Structure formats: C-alpha cells, structure tokens
C-alpha cells in the first residue's frame, strides 16, 4: 500500500472510531456494511490530492465499506456494486457517482456532493456484494455544519 493510500485508510479509520465521526454500520445476513458522510475539509491535502477529492467545508464525502462476516475476524472486505443518491429537505435529488478505492486489504466506495451550511441530506444506498444477487438497501439522514 502506498503512503497516500495508507493515509486515506487511516483517515477513514479515525473517522470510524472518533466520537464526532458518526460512523455507522448495519448487519445484513453474511455482511456488515459500514457507512459515514463527512465534509472533505478534514482530509489531509496529500490524501485529497492523491484521490482527486476537492477539500472543502461545502463538499461531502460518502464512504461505504462492505465486509463479509468471517468467524474470528473483523470481516473480509468484499467488492460490491454500490449506488447512492442524496436528497435534501426541499426534495432536490442528487445522483451520486460512486467510485471504488481498492487498497488490497480494504475496499472503500466513495461519492461526493456539495452541501450548504445546516443542510440535511438523506442518503439512499443500494449495495450488491459480489457473488450475491439480492440487493441491500438502506438510508440515513445527516445534517452538516459548514461554517
């Protein structure tokens, strides 16, 4: 894993364990799906540049990872088909362009969108793990404070 990838993985892990991170997870059958959304200004300049992510308080990064449950481990990262949308309280729909980051020992699905101060977005996510045919669908709301 290169340095930029290691820093991105570390940034995502810090978000998952930090008290302000609001990382969440759901169990679906043989899988656990971790998800979070945060403004991109918290990424280091090096990580943002390495992955072509604009750093901004007014830009949100949706982060999804899919782990297959494996006894005695925290799970095995798996590839998946992931689609997502974001809708604000005014009903404005944003189709999100989801891309995969495969770091060999970690696989992330990320998407970006803009956000206004105090705006609430409802993220709707659809995941189909490789080798599976049944989609997993879930949604979550998050308010962002950009000032």
**pLDDT at 21 (0 to 100):** 47
- 3-state SS track over the chain: CCHHHHHHHHHHHHHHHCCCCCCEEEEECCEEEEEEEEEHHHCCHHHHHHHCCCCCCCEEEEEEEEEECCCCCCCEECCEEEEEEEEECCCCEEEECCEEEECCCCEEEEEEEECCCCCEEEEEEEEEECCCCCCEEEEEEEECCCC
- Domain-by-domain residue ranges, the chain? 3-143
Q: Which fold has domain 3-143?
A: Immunoglobulin-like (2.60.40)
Please give the pLDDT value at position 19.
Answer: 38
pLDDT of 103 reads 87
pLDDT at residue 3 in the model? 53
Mean pLDDT of successive 10-residue stretches along the chain, which has 147 residues: 52 43 81 96 94 96 96 93 98 97 92 97 97 94 95
- Using alpha carbons, select from 90, 85, 67, 55 the residue that is nearest to residue 16: 67
What's the confidence (pLDDT) of residue 87?
A: 98
């Amino acid at each position: 894993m290169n340095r930029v990838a290691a820093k991105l993985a570390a940034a995502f892990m810090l978000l998952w364990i930090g008290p302000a991170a609001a990382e969440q997870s759901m169990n679906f059958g043989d899988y656990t799906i971790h998800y979070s959304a945060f403004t991109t200004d918290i990424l280091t300049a090096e990580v943002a540049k390495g992955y072509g992510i604009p750093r901004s308080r007014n830009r949100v990064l949706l982060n999804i990872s899919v782990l297959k449950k494996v006894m005695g481990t925290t799970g095995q990262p798996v590839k998946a088909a992931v689609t997502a949308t974001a809708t604000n309280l005014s009903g404005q729909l944003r189709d999100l362009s989801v891309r995969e980051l495969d770091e060999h020992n970690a696989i992330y699905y990320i998407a970006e969108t803009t956000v206004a101060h105090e705006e609430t977005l409802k993220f709707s996510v659809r995941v189909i793990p490789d080798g599976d045919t049944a989609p997993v669908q879930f949604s979550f709301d998050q308010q962002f404070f950009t000032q």
